[in-house]
Structure 1
């Protein structure tokens, strides 16, 4: 559904994107993460045809956007719905008219576009808010209107640019639930650009990490999280901060990748580290697999090495934590 091949974008002497290869199958929810300056905004502008790549191709629903212009590009964009961090609703228009606005631009007749807008607002749970203005809506309700508006042209792909970063946690959960429901009910392909790792864990089937304009890591979510020692895995399942009072103490980080918590605890105990030595832990169940990490405190460098060696002998990934 979404295919990027050798995508490169240069602004003057600045390389914003370099050799980006990405494939997102139809019906999948894919997350793009990365720190500020990683290239996320440039990527989404290339995906929507707002920026032309310096080289490479961008294909959406089988159409190469890099070969389109004018009417062809406008038609290709109809297969793409956009949901923004700041919804940018028309303040002087009701929710109904905001959703109907893109259909009006497309030349759809008044009766038909209003009927479609009403149907979409019902679909996103705002059937009783059709006559409300943006000032009368909460942040989550505004985002729902934005999602309904993005669906007006019946797109095949929904691009969400930081859709929850301005929302509280409860509203975020509701919006993510709605996006998942849309995927399940409509079969739509979703690409989410976000800096919030919790969004990736909650809703995505797969994930790509951008760093300095390049793909640093990409893959199915459960596989990426399960990769021992992966920077992305550590960001997706973070450990709470810990402190050790004794300067001679060392921290050993143990991964649950490929095994379960009881097995790790048994192996650690056999290696001389009791459960009382665990200073921090994070465990998640994703696609039926336990994923996570534990941090043990040991008394010396020698004990850290012995513990790591013993765990690795049992097929358990461990490393000394910084």
Structure 2
């Protein structure tokens, strides 16, 4: 459905995108993440035809967006519905009129566009809010109107740019649930650009990490999370905030001397990718490190597979090396953490 091939974008002496290859199958929800300056905004503009790439191609449903102009480009853009962080509804129009607006621009008759807009408001759960103005709607309701508006032209792709970053946790869950249900009901392909890893975990089938304008990692969510030592995996399954002062290396609170709160203390981070917590504990116990030495942990089940990370605290660098060696001998990925 979405195909990017060798996409490159250069502004003067600055390379914004380089050698971007990406394929998103029809009906999939794909997330794109990256730090500020990674190239996400430039990628969006190339996807929607707002910027012509320096080289490479962008294809949506078999149509090469980079090879279009004028009416051809406008027609290609109809295949893409856009949902923004800031919905930018027209304050002087009701929810119904806001949803109908793109159909009005497209020349659809008044009766037809109003009927379509009512249908879409029902789909997003706002059938009873058709006559409300934006000032009478909550943030989540405005976003639902924005989603309905994006679906008005019956696009094949729904492109969501930070769709939940301005919403509270409860409303975010509702919007993500709505996007998932739209995919199931309409068979639409969804591309979500976000910096919120919780959004990726909650809704995406696959994910791409952009770094310095390049694809640093891409794959299904289960594959990416399960990769031992992966930066993206660590971001997707974060550990709670921890401090060496929280626990001594022998598991006792506030141990002294060469314990974890001492200057020689070391942290060992263990990946649960492809293994289980009991296996990790058995490996650790083989070198005298008990479960009491666990300083923090995060474990989740993704597509039926247990993934996550555990941090042990040990007294010295030699203890850390011994623990890592013992775990690696059992096929368990471990590394000394900063």
Q: Which moved more, 1:11-20 or 1:106-115?
A: 11-20
2:81 aligns to what? Answer: 81
Cα deviation for residue 260 of structure 1 reads 1.5
Residue from 270, 275, 285 that aligns with 2:291: 275
Question: Aligned equivalents of 1:273 and 1:176: distance in 2?
Answer: 41
Q: Secondary structure at 1:229's aligned position in 2?
A: coil
Corresponding residue for residue 337 of structure 2: 321
Say which SS state the counterpart of residue 316 (structure 1) adopts. Answer: coil
- Report the equivalent of 2:128: 128
1:55-74 matches, cutoff 5 A: 55-74=55-74
Structure 2 distance, partners of 1:269, 1:152, is: 60
CA distance in 1 between counterparts of 2:286 and 2:133 reads: 64
C-alpha displacement of 1:43: 0.1
Deviation at 1:241, TM superposition (A): 2.4
Structure 1 unmatched runs, 5+: none
1:243 CA displacement: 1.6
Distance across 2 between alignment mates of 1:185 and 1:233 = 30
1-structure distance, mates of 2:44, 2:201? 21
Is the aligned partner of 1:165 residue 2:181? no
Shift of the alpha carbon at 1:246?
1.5
Alignment of 1:232-311 (within 5 A): 232-244=232-244, 245-311=261-327
> What do you get for the CA RMSD once the two structures are aligned?
0.7
Asked whether the 8 Å contact 1:271–1:311 carries over to 2, the reply is no
Note the alpha carbon deviations across 1:74-124, whole angstroms, 9 max, x for none.
111111000000000000000000000000000000000000000000000
Match of 1:29 in 2: 29
**Are the equivalent residues in 2 in contact too, given 1:100–1:152 (CA < 8 A)?**
yes
SS of corresponding position for 1:128:
helix
Tell me how far 1:266 sits from its aligned partner.
2.2
Match for residue 312 of structure 1 among 328, 331, 336: 328
Cα-to-partner distance string for 1:178-214 (whole Å, 9 max, x where unaligned): 0011011111000000000110011000000001101
Q: Secondary structure at the match of 2:201?
A: helix
What residue is the counterpart of 1:49 in the other structure?
A: 49
| Structure-1 residue corresponding to 2:250 | none
CA distance in 2, matches of 1:118, 1:81: 18
5+ residue gaps, structure 2, are: 245-260
